[in-house]
């Protein structure tokens, strides 16, 4: 059996991205897991196992691509560049886990899909956005240029290993763009018809397919098809070789079928003559390129077939080779067969859809490969973890990625892990698991959608037994326990079978494993949150959402006294083992029950008295007797506690996992904290002591990781409530604040928690201010409908008195003066509340409440008397009667007149068909045009009111000096001469000409001539001789005055 060691199962790499994984010469690896950056470094002790560090939320949504600095390992050059679904490109210091600098595209809606750190120019970083914008960043000078390449959707980017002026960009349409670092397109390579997913340059710039050693800088491309093209992008842009992937599996050791997922061809040119590719069957293949000349069909060979599903990325460290390195002597030419072997120290990393990260190295013999690392990764919260009670080297844990995992700890678990996964008929997050007490192969699971099933882990390919669907929401707890039906049967007194107890939807149900399609037995109908059977199955504790805990015997009959001490919903119940490794007999703590609620306190209860009573088989005990006592109240966390686990090795040792992102180890006898684990940066959802070593503890977290750690190496840390509050704020703001950082801003990582903190508060402050503005908008005060009654019930004494009054009413003694009283009492309460609202100006609320007890008419009448009517009140009046509505409309019209709103008042008069009254109101308010239009729409043209409107309108506009408007009124009445006289009062040429024309139209020659005479004198005074002549041309009756105009003009000339 293997010894235990500290290890981490990290979060899973992102799917369907070929450049989200990278590795270095010294074995350091990094990948993107959603928006988190995972960095794995070789252990300083054995230089073999990987220690993982997580930098959370460095980009929006997810990380799309990353690349190490080509000079990684040199002083100050342990750097990594990343990009994600935001416009930022960020460089990280992998030694300090801080962001050193960043650049950004100008448009905030840009998403960066690919980034690469050029190996031919270690100061150049290239990034491409999905919209076709290329960013080149000169890292040493901290300057960048952005080039718009065109309108196309990009998918990946790769910089040439030898020429800094060659950048390959893949697109969704299958086209490959070869561009320079200045954004100039050299070639557009068309071979694929589907989306490009992978690009890889030849490690040498020489054309390995030709004997003339031409510098073609070969490029291999893979797409969502089964064809690989090898291009000559530096010369003519044509492809050199077209290679088809095998149509059948190459691994003959096991049966393989074609994967259902869409084709995703990833490739890696690891040596000048060796190309590594994935197949459509989940295999990792390699091809010796110098052999495809002589063979019609490529000779594919298998590296491994350990990925059961699609492979998404292939990575290894590539050292660019120069031409001098390639020009060896003829007998040692790198093209010959004897030099086709792969370097023994070369590592090839792959990630797959089954969430496995695998590293392979060449074996001792040719064409053989060994698995160096096989790391299972997780893609969700680790909700539950449990050891097998019969085979203690086997544990199971449920994860939020819809998979159930079983881990064999008896095998070494430093670089490879014996973990099998079950996913059939799960479909959602695995939130609860339970091992069968007698059958080590049966493992029950529950999901977040209410599904409950049982897997046979010895035949994991077989579909599980799924029980009939009963629950509709999350299953919080599963427990195997004695079957009530069997124990109550008189025929089976000596045998004990087990049923599956399930807690979810506030219900406690019991499933029969032998009859999965039978409706489960409903034991508790509501408010149940947790169940835990004692290890000897003599007693079960059940927790409720009101904080109470009740106890049941083997037959699931209530026993003992219910505990009402806790006031918050019960989160977790954990019984101490009957005995531990350190106990010679039964443990002194065997009857201890640890309880956690939604608070930060753990309560430990001693139930010895009750268990003694159960052993004596006393059922009808005195429930007034207190059968428990509180041993300890443990306060060390600052947030709710998700999980508890007792040590199976040392009595009285307890571990707890909390939402404050820590796990605490307790010694119950002294109520002291022995150790605090702070390696998670998410809430600790599940904890478990190692079944094989007392010093190791398992903890699963919301940070998508499962960690094994030594509690003896941990220090005691007491997190304060203030730090947790600030930490939660940072978690919410980190995504926005990091994305908004300036180029020279730095983000530091708190190593104990893994939370990035911004040194400069400028960006974070801006986000907080925006959040406050939103809160201000949301924070509009809501006025209660029953303020007086609310004030009364807020008084404790008054409330207690009301409780007694209501109790007396229910018993029939007297009437309660509360809203639970009679209709008369409620009516009095409402009357009082309405008066309060009325006096405070809350008329709308008073009217709304009057609808409740049919007092609407009284309320509207009161408003009419006090001239407090509103549109809402008028709209409610027809509910009473049309006669009352007309009265209200007329009263409201009069109120509006008093409020100087005549137009709205006229509208209400019109609704009452009082047209003349509405017109008179508008005229009185000097709205003559509106009154005239209303009269034209509603009345006959011969109505006398038109004359009245004209008369008053004319008088008003004449007094105000609006002669043109007055002329319009006169013309409308046919009084052209009067209109001409009105206009003639203006002393300007255009108005006088119009007046003269009106007089002519009325055949009033005398008036027309007098107006023209006046106009000519006006023009002569201005020396406008041309204007005078034009007037005399139109009005020929005064043509004799032309002599006067010309004489006037000549005299003026002589004088000048």
Q: Given this model, what pLDDT does residue 777 score?
A: 45
Q: Given this model, what pLDDT does residue 293 score?
A: 65
| Lowest-confidence pick of 173-177, 388-392, 912-916 | 912-916
CATH topology for 961-1055 is: 1.25.40
Q: How far apart are the first and last CA of the chain?
A: 128
Q: Given this model, what pLDDT does residue 819 score?
A: 57
Determine the Cα–Cα distance for residues 610 and 551; give it in Å rounded to an integer.
9
Q: Average pLDDT in the 611-640 region?
A: 76
Q: Given this model, what pLDDT does residue 1033 score?
A: 66
| Lowest-confidence pick of 512-516, 601-605, 916-920 | 916-920
Say what percent of the chain tops pLDDT 90. Answer: 50
Helix, strand, or coil (residue 993): helix
The Cα angle at residue 785 between residues 782 and 786, in degrees rounded to 5:
120
Contacts 24+ apart (CB under 8 A), 116-119: 116/19, 116/65, 116/67, 116/157, 116/158, 116/159, 117/67, 117/68, 117/69, 117/70, 117/81, 117/159, 118/70, 118/159, 118/160, 118/164, 119/70, 119/159, 119/161, 119/318, 119/320
Angle between helices 915-924 and 928-938 (to 10 degrees): 160
Determine the Cα–Cα distance for residues 32 and 51; give it in Å rounded to an integer.
16
| Lowest-confidence pick of 63-67, 460-464, 963-967 | 963-967
Q: Running DSSP on this structure, what letter comes out for residue 298?
A: -
The Cα angle at residue 719 between residues 716 and 725, in degrees rounded to 5:
165
User: Closest Cα to residue 125, out of 154, 103, 156?
Assistant: 103
Q: What is the dihedral of CA 7, 11, 16, 17, to 10 degrees?
A: -80
At 767, is the pLDDT very low, low, confident or very high (cuts 50, 70, 90)? very low
Determine the Cα–Cα distance for residues 886 and 863; give it in Å rounded to an integer.
15
Q: Average pLDDT over the chain, rounded to whole?
A: 82
Determine the Cα–Cα distance for residues 1038 and 1020; give it in Å rounded to an integer.
15
Q: Average pLDDT in the 130-151 region?
A: 92
Q: Average pLDDT in the 335-346 region?
A: 62
**Averaging pLDDT over each range in 759-768, 887-896, 981-990, which range is the top one?**
887-896
Q: What is the largest CA-CA distance in the chain?
A: 147
Q: Pull the structure tokens for residue 1006.
A: 């005398």
757/307: higher pLDDT: 307
Q: Running DSSP on this structure, what letter comes out for residue 170?
A: E
pLDDT digits (tens, 9 = 90+) for 192-238: 999 999 999 999 999 888 887 788 899 999 999 999 999 999 998 99
Q: Given this model, what pLDDT does residue 630 score?
A: 92
The CATH homologous superfamily of the domain defined by 382-525: YVTN repeat-like/Quinoprotein amine dehydrogenase (2.130.10.10)
Q: Which residue has the tokens 């919301």?
A: 702
Instruction: State yes or no: pLDDT of 754 exceeds 50.
Output: no
Q: Which residue has the tokens 């079978």?
A: 497
* Cβ neighbourhood burial of 179 (10 Å; 0-12, 13-18, 19+): buried
Determine the Cα–Cα distance for residues 624 and 731; give it in Å rounded to an integer.
49
Backbone angles phi, psi at 845, to 5 degrees: -65, -40
Residue 810 CB coordination number (10 Å): 10
Q: Running DSSP on this structure, what letter comes out for residue 467?
A: P
Residue 872 CB coordination number (10 Å): 11
Helix, strand, or coil (residue 780): coil
Residue 881 CB coordination number (10 Å): 11
Determine the Cα–Cα distance for residues 505 and 452; give it in Å rounded to an integer.
13
Check if the beta carbon of residue 833 is closer than 8 Å to that of residue 787: yes
- Integer CA distances (angstroms), 604 to 630, 646, 654, in order: 6, 12, 10
Q: Average pLDDT in the 967-983 region?
A: 71
Determine the Cα–Cα distance for residues 888 and 882; give it in Å rounded to an integer.
10
Instruction: State yes or no: pLDDT of 53 exceeds 50.
Output: yes
pLDDT digits (tens, 9 = 90+) for 723-746: 444 444 444 433 333 333 333 333
Instruction: Give the dihedral sign, CA 990/994/995/1000.
Output: positive
Check if the beta carbon of residue 92 is closer than 8 Å to that of residue 98: yes
Q: Which residue has the tokens 């149509």?
A: 247
Determine the Cα–Cα distance for residues 269 and 240; give it in Å rounded to an integer.
15
CATH class of 579-616+626-719: mainly beta
Instruction: State yes or no: pLDDT of 776 exceeds 60.
Output: no
At 485, is the pLDDT very low, low, confident or very high (cuts 50, 70, 90)? low
Determine the Cα–Cα distance for residues 321 and 120; give it in Å rounded to an integer.
11
Give 496-527 as a DSSP string. --EEEEEEETTEEEEE-TT-TTSPPEEEE-SS
User: Closest Cα to residue 965, out of 946, 948, 985, 945?
Assistant: 985
Q: Running DSSP on this structure, what letter comes out for residue 613?
A: H
Q: Pull the structure tokens for residue 346.
A: 């070369």
Q: Average pLDDT in the 325-350 region?
A: 61
Instruction: State yes or no: pLDDT of 572 exceeds 90.
Output: yes
pLDDT digits (tens, 9 = 90+) for 655-679: 999 999 999 999 999 999 999 999 9
Instruction: State yes or no: pLDDT of 618 exceeds 90.
Output: no
Q: Given this model, what pLDDT does residue 299 score?
A: 86
Q: Given this model, what pLDDT does residue 218 score?
A: 94
Q: Given this model, what pLDDT does residue 337 score?
A: 47
Q: Given this model, what pLDDT does residue 329 score?
A: 38
Q: Given this model, what pLDDT does residue 149 score?
A: 93
At 112, is the pLDDT very low, low, confident or very high (cuts 50, 70, 90)? very high
Q: Which residue has the tokens 């960006």?
A: 763
User: Closest Cα to residue 552, out of 496, 628, 610?
Assistant: 610
193/999: higher pLDDT: 193
Q: Given this model, what pLDDT does residue 952 score?
A: 72
Q: Which residue has the tokens 């010294």?
A: 26
Q: Given this model, what pLDDT does residue 734 score?
A: 39
At 935, is the pLDDT very low, low, confident or very high (cuts 50, 70, 90)? confident
Q: Average pLDDT in the 969-996 region?
A: 70
Q: Which residue has the tokens 């909390």?
A: 658
649/758: higher pLDDT: 649
Instruction: State yes or no: pLDDT of 146 exceeds 60.
Output: yes
921/805: higher pLDDT: 921
Helix, strand, or coil (residue 572): strand
Q: List beta partners, residue 127.
A: 115, 135
Helix, strand, or coil (residue 767): helix
Query: Mapped to the 3 state alphabet, what secondary structure does 676-693 carry?
Result: EECCCCCCEEEEEECCCC
Say what percent of the chain tops pLDDT 70. Answer: 78
**H or E stretch covering 939:** none
Residue 1032 CB coordination number (10 Å): 18
Could you tell me the pTM of the whole model? 0.71
Q: Given this model, what pLDDT does residue 324 score?
A: 56
749/322: higher pLDDT: 322
Check if the beta carbon of residue 677 is closer than 8 Å to that of residue 635: no
Determine the Cα–Cα distance for residues 442 and 388; give it in Å rounded to an integer.
10
| Lowest-confidence pick of 230-244, 338-352, 536-550, 752-766 | 752-766
Q: Given this model, what pLDDT does residue 330 score?
A: 40
Q: Given this model, what pLDDT does residue 727 score?
A: 47
Determine the Cα–Cα distance for residues 676 and 689; give it in Å rounded to an integer.
14
Q: Running DSSP on this structure, what letter comes out for residue 262?
A: P
Check if the beta carbon of residue 705 is closer than 8 Å to that of residue 680: yes
């Amino acid at each position: 059996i293997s010894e235990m060691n500290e290890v981490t199962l990290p979060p899973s790499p992102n799917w369907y991205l070929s450049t989200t994984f990278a590795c270095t010469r010294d074995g350091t690896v990094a990948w993107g897991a959603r928006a988190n950056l995972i960095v794995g470094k070789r252990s300083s002790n054995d230089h073999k196992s990987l220690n993982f560090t997580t930098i959370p939320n460095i980009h929006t949504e997810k990380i799309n691509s990353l690349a190490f600095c080509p000079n990684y390992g040199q002083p100050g050059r342990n750097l990594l560049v990343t990009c994600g679904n935001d416009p930022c490109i960020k460089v990280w210091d992998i030694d300090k886990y801080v962001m050193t600098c960043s650049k950004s595209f100008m448009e905030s809606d840009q998403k960066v899909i690919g980034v690469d750190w050029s190996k031919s120019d270690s100061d150049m970083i290239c990034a491409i956005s999905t919209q076709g914008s290329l960013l080149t960043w000169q890292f040493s000078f901290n300057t960048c240029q952005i080039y718009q390449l065109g309108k196309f959707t990009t998918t990946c980017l790769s910089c040439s290993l030898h020429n800094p002026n060659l950048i390959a960009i893949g697109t969704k349409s299958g086209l490959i763009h070869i561009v320079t670092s200045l954004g100039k397109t050299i070639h557009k390579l068309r071979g694929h018809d589907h989306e490009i997913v992978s690009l890889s340059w030849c490690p040498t710039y020489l054309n390995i397919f030709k004997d003339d050693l031409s510098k073609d800088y070969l490029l291999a491309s893979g797409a969502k098809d089964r064809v690989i093209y090898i291009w000559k992008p530096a010369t003519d842009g044509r492809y050199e070789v077209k290679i088809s992937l095998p149509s059948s599996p190459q691994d003959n050791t096991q049966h393989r079928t074609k994967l259902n997922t869409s084709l995703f061809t990833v490739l890696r040119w690891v040596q000048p003559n060796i190309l590594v590719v994935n197949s459509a069957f989940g295999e990792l293949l390699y091809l010796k390129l110098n052999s495809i000349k002589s063979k019609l069909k490529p000779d594919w060979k298998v590296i491994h077939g350990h990925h059961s599903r699609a492979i998404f990325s292939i990575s290894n460290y590539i050292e660019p080779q120069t031409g001098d390195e390639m020009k060896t002597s003829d007998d040692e030419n790198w093209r010959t067969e004897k030099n086709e072997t792969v370097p023994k120290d070369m590592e090839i990393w792959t990630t797959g859809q089954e969430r496995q990260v695998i590293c392979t190295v060449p074996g001792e013999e040719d064409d053989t490969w060994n698995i160096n690392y096989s790391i299972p990764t997780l893609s969700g919260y680790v909700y539950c973890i449990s050891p097998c009670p019969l085979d203690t080297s086997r544990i199971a844990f449920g994860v939020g990625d819809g998979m159930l995992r079983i881990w064999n700890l008896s095998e070494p678990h430093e670089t490879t892990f014996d973990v099998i996964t079950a996913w059939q008929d799960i479909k959602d997050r695995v939130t609860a698991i339970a091992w069968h007490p007698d059958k080590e192969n049966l493992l029950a699971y529950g999901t977040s959608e209410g599904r409950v099933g049982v897997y046979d882990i010895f035949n994991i390919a077989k579909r599980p037994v799924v029980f009939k669907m009963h629950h509709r929401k999350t299953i919080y707890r599963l427990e195997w326990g004695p079957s009530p039906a069997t124990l109550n049967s008189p025929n089976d007194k000596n045998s004990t079978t087990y049923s599956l107890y399930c807690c979810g939807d506030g219900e406690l149900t019991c499933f029969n494993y032998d009859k999965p399609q039978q409706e489960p037995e409903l034991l508790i109908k509501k408010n149940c949150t947790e169940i835990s059977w004692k290890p000897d199955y003599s007693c079960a504790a059940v927790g409720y959402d009101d904080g109470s805990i009740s106890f049941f015997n083997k037959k699931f009959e209530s026993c003992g006294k219910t505990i009402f001490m806790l006031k918050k919903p019960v989160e977790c119940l954990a019984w101490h083992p009957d005995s531990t490794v350190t106990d010679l007999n039964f443990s002194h703590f065997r009857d201890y029950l640890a309880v956690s609620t939604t608070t930060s306190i753990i309560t430990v209860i001693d139930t010895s008295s009750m268990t003694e009573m159960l052993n004596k088989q006393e059922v009808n005990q005195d429930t007034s007797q207190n059968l428990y006592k509180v041993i300890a109240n443990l306060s060390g966390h600052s947030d709710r506690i998700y999980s508890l686990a007792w040590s199976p090795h040392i009595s009285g040792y307890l571990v707890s996992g909390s939402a404050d992102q820590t796990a605490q180890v307790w010694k119950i006898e002294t109520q002291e904290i022995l150790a605090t684990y702070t390696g998670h940066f998410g809430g600790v959802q599940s904890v478990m002591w190692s079944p094989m070593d007392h010093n190791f503890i398992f903890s699963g977290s919301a940070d998508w990781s499962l960690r094994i750690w030594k509690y003896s190496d941990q220090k005691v840390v007491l997190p304060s409530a203030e730090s947790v509050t600030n930490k939660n704020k940072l978690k919410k703001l980190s995504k926005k604040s990091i994305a908004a950082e300036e180029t020279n801003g730095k983000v530091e990582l708190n190593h104990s928690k893994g939370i990035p903190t911004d040194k400069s508060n400028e960006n974070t402050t801006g986000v907080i201010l925006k959040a406050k503005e939103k809160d201000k908008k949301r924070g509009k005060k809501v006025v209660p409908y029953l303020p007086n009654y609310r004030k009364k019930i807020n008084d404790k004494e008054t409330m207690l008195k009301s409780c007694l009054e209501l109790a007396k009413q229910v018993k029939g003694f007297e009437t309660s003066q509360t809203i639970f009283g009679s209709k008369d009492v409620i009516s009095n309460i409402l009357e009082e509340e309405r008066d309060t609202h009325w006096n405070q100006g809350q008329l709308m609320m008073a009217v709304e409440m009057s609808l409740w007890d049919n007092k609407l008419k009284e309320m509207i009448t009161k408003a009419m008397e006090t001239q407090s009517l509103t549109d809402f009140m008028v709209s409610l009046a027809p509910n009473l009667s049309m006669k009352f509505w007309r009265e209200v409309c007329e009263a409201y019209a009069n109120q509006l007149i008093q409020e100087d709103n005549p137009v709205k008042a006229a509208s209400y008069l019109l609704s009452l068909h009082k047209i003349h009254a509405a017109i008179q109101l508008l005229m009185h308010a000097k709205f003559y045009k509106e009154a005239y239009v209303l009269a034209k729409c509603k009345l006959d043209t011969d109505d006398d009111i038109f004359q009245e409107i004209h008369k008053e309108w004319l008088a008003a506009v004449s007094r105000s000096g609006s002669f043109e408007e007055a002329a319009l009124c006169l013309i409308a009445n046919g009084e052209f001469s009067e209109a001409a006289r009105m206009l003639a009062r203006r002393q300007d040429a255009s108005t006088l000409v119009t007046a003269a024309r009106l007089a002519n139209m009325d055949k009033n020659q005398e008036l027309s001539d007098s107006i023209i005479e006046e106009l000519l004198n006006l023009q002569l005074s201005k020396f406008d001789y041309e204007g005078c002549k034009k007037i005399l041309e139109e009005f020929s009756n005064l043509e004799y005055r032309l002599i006067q105009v010309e004489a006037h003009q000549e005299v003026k000339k002589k004088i000048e």
